[in-house]
Amino acid sequence: MRPIIIANWKMNLGYRDSLKLAEDLVRAIPEAELYKKDVVVCPSASSLLIVAEMFKKHHIVMGAQDVFWREQGAFTGCESPKFLWEAGCRLAIIGHSERRQNLQETDAMVNQKIKAALVAGLAPILCVGETYEERAAGKTDNVIMGQTIKALSGIQLLANEQLVVAYEPVWVIGSGRPIEPEEAEHASRIIYQTLLDLFPLTIVQNNIRIVYGGSIDGSTVSDFTGLEYFGGFLVGGASLHAEEFASIIKQTE
Ligand code: PGA
């Protein structure tokens, strides 16, 4: 499958800075890269429309940082997957650890969000990963297996639907240092095996990509590009700099 490189701008940029970075990205990423790789940018909700306008004539795809599980109604402050699609989003990050921690998002909520995203035509980017305490207690494998199973319970992917599972060890996000590539590879194997228990082999091979996220930048990405089950990256801090993000894209095979 084509590699996928996802920028998660988090809550870092307002409207003007988002527009500026979107412009810089269009200049920094050669068109030829976009024919071979899927490049996704997830801005804040308040900047989606302006960024969508900027990417209209380019092959950079836009994603949302979250979705709600209902399509429409009295849900103040929530973002409808259907409306996010209308705003130009084609993917949505779901279950990011910052939402699990700050907003007490549960696996059950993540599951509902994934279902709703798929109905709206958005490809979910499911985030899973262990905290430092869970890792120290030797629970990493169980945590990522459990999160993956609960998030995807009752979901059947159709041949035209895509899913991304991002392995993001919570303790390295924003730390400036990724984990050892061998540890990441072990986690990706666990996720791959879990996916094989949930979906037919052809779906796992053709419709699902596993990516790594957690302090990836232009100087560390090459340590992770050859790993067996990874097909790309979810990038936070380093995606806020156009040249740095372009360098990550260039090095991703
Ligand atoms: P980071 O963030 O690259 O800044 O560690 C990754 C993420 O949280 O998706």
Nearest-angstrom CA–CA distance, 229 and 129:
16
| Alpha helices (H) in the chain, listed in sequence order | 15-28, 31-36, 48-55, 81-86, 97-102, 107-120, 132-136, 140-152, 181-198, 201-207, 242-251
Catalytic residue among 96, 98, 130, 185: 96
| pLDDT for the residue 128 | 98
Mutate to test the pocket of ligand 1, among 91, 102, 126, 235 (most ligand atoms within 8 A of CB): 235
Tell me, using a 6 A CB cutoff, whether residue 213 lines ligand 1: yes
Tell me, using a 6 A CB cutoff, whether residue 43 lines ligand 1: no
pLDDT band at 57; cut points 50, 70, 90: confident
Catalytic residue among 79, 98, 130, 168: 168
Q: Does the pLDDT at position 165 exceed 90?
A: yes
| CA atoms within 13 A of residue 125's CA, in its CB half-sphere | 31
Q: Are 148 and 126 in contact, with CB atoms under 8 Å apart?
A: yes
Above pLDDT 70, what percent of the chain? 100
Residue 58: active-site member: no
Q: Look up tokens 């990522």; give the residue.
A: 144
| Mean pLDDT across 21-47 | 97
Residue 244: active-site member: no
pLDDT band at 219; cut points 50, 70, 90: very high
- Rounded to the nearest integer, the mean pLDDT of the chain is 97
Residues 94-131: pLDDT tens digits? 999 999 999 999 999 999 999 999 999 999 999 999 99
Dihedral sign, CA of 22, 28, 29, 30?
A: positive
DSSP 176: S
Residue 239 CA to ligand 1 centre (angstroms): 9
Nearest-angstrom CA–CA distance, 212 and 124:
15
Residues 62-80: pLDDT tens digits? 999 999 999 999 999 999 9
| pLDDT for the residue 146 | 98
Residue 44 CA to ligand 1 centre (angstroms): 15
